[in-house]
Amino acid sequence: MTDFLGLKLAPTILRAVEAEGYTTPTPIQLQSIPALLEGHDLLGVAQTGTGKTAAFSLPILHRLQEKTVHQDGRRTPRALVLAPTRELAGQIGESLRTYGQHLGLRHAVVFGGTSIRNQIRILSRGVDILVATPGRLLDLMNQRQVRLDRVEIFVLDEADRMLDMGFIPDVKKISAAIPKKRQTVLFSATMPKSVQSLADGLLNDPVHVEVAPTSTTAERVEQHVLFVHKDKKRALLAELMNDRSIERVLIFTRTKHGADRVARHLDDHGVRSDAIHGNKAQNARERALNGFRNGKIRALVATDIAARGIDVDGVTHVINFELPNDPESYVHRIGRTARAGATGIALSFCDREERGYLRDIEKTIRQTVTVNEDHSYHAADIANDPGHGKRGPSKNGNFRKNNNGSGQRRRNPKRGSRPSVKAA
């Protein structure tokens, strides 16, 4: 089975998939969709960018379109999808809208940071599929504005991030309000003991699928570390942004205020930028993300939590302005430029305090990150410490990919077009 037709989805769904230009399912879709169509619970381990949203969205749409009669004339949610962030919830909602455009199903997306009254009004009209963040859903439940007693399918996406954000107690409260007789799906990029314990409590004899282990995801990205003193990082960033091959870049910081400072610094140096983080109002976050998608913004500066769920075509580079203290976060970050099997380039700034983070990252990805020292702010005293990467080519500092994604460096590169690649 190599195409969507072989998955035996409803013709109306296949028509929507085909209209998006998708013909071949990704590995996670090939493994997940048949099991979900058969009604099995599923435990999936998959990184972002593997097509997992469609892996559960398409079976949900197929199952619900087969039975559209509503008991007592009420239209209460029959499928519930929980996501850790607003951005990811919105992305899932968009997938449901796209793939379900020829169906008579309704869906709603609810999350904090926006008017709960508007969301209550939408729910009162009736929905078949509800996508929610845990906090806002609990608010609606406490106000008795949503009923979950007819949920047939329950999806928990990015369970490891739910754990990181402290949502697991909320998830357990929500799951207790759903009928025990249901189909349950849990996806997670990693499977620590705490997530496995959660899965054991929610799933009933699940099918287990796993694709794109951590090392595989990292290997698709050409990675470089640039050693630099902490007070020189912003100057180094401005220097790198003179390279026009960095067409669309996602820049990561550890803090919200740091993201704002970096975005302002880039704007001051003529680089159209914006920041996205938890302190931003939802409309500001959406405006920044839309500007990044349509090319009006060249650089989007983000914190880890805000970046979850960002799925933008053609991100040529990821820059770790600050290394994360969690190696798994590094893998999630750099995966933003290696979507659905594509390749990308990741540049990481490393100051003296971050050397331990780099060591942990290299152990996790099971490879050594190449050192690039051909920049004006190279910190030889940091780079010469043992155990911090191998020396890379030092005659050119230009990070431009050639046509096969091998990362060849060129002097005076001409800016070229870059194909758009994304997963269904």
Helix axes 11-19, 52-66, angle to 10 degrees: 150
> Under CATH, domain 4-212 is a member of which superfamily?
P-loop containing nucleotide triphosphate hydrolases (3.40.50.300)
Q: What is the pLDDT of residue 70?
A: 54
Confidence of residue 388 (pLDDT cuts 50, 70, 90): very low
The full DSSP string for 346-359 is EEEEE-GGGHHHHH
* Interatomic CA distance for residues 212 and 420, integer angstroms: 21
Question: Which token pair is 40?
Answer: 């099995």
pLDDT value of position 3: 79
Answer for the pair 93, 185: CB distance below 8 angstroms, yes or no.
Answer: no
Residue type, 308: R
Where are the domains positioned within the chain?
4-212, 215-391
pLDDT digits (tens, 9 = 90+) for 37-61: 999 999 999 876 678 899 999 999 9
Q: Which of 236, 239, 245 is nearest to 411 (CA)?
A: 245
- In this structure, are residues 103 and 123 in contact, taking their beta carbons and an 8 Å threshold? no
Of 78-92, 174-188, 410-424, minimum mean pLDDT range: 410-424
Outline where DSSP puts E strands in 122-175: 129-132, 153-156
CATH 3.40.50.300 fits 215-391, yes or no: yes
Whole-angstrom distance, CA of residue 315 vs CA of residue 294? 12
| 79-82 and 207-210 strand pairing | unpaired
The pTM score is 0.63
Which residue type does 401 have? Answer: K
> What does DSSP assign to residue 277?
-
Closest CA to 327 of 159, 203, 189, 220: 189
> CA 37, CA 93: separation in Å to the nearest integer?
20
Give per-residue pLDDT as tens, 85-143: 888 898 899 999 999 999 989 999 999 888 899 999 999 999 999 999 999 999 999 99
Cα–Cα distances in angstroms (integers) from residue 381 to residues 91, 306, 394, 408, in the given order: 44, 34, 17, 27
Which of 85-89, 152-156, 287-291, 394-398 has the weakest average pLDDT? 394-398
Q: What is the pLDDT of residue 191?
A: 84
Q: What tens digit of pLDDT does each residue of 244-293 get?
A: 889 899 999 999 999 999 999 999 999 999 999 878 887 888 888 889 98
Put the strands of the sheet holding 390-391 in their side by side order.
273-276, 299-302, 249-252, 317-320, 344-350, 221-227, 370-371, 390-391
Amino acid at 406: S
pLDDT in tens, 314-373: 888 999 999 998 887 888 888 888 665 566 899 999 999 999 999 988 888 888 899 998
Rounded Cα gap, residues 211 and 28, in angstroms:
6
| The two domains 4-212 and 215-391 share their CATH topology (first three levels equal) | yes
Share of the chain above pLDDT 70, in %: 84
Mapped onto helix, strand or coil, the DSSP state of residue 44 is: strand
Q: How far apart are the two ends of the chain, measured CA to CA in Å?
A: 17
The mean pLDDT of 372-394, rounded to a whole number, is 71
- Dmax over Cα atoms in the chain, in whole Å? 73
For residue 148, give every residue at least 6 positions away whose Cβ sits within 8 Å of its Cβ, in sequence order, or none.
76, 77, 80, 141, 174, 177, 178
The Cα 389–Cα 304 span in angstroms is: 24
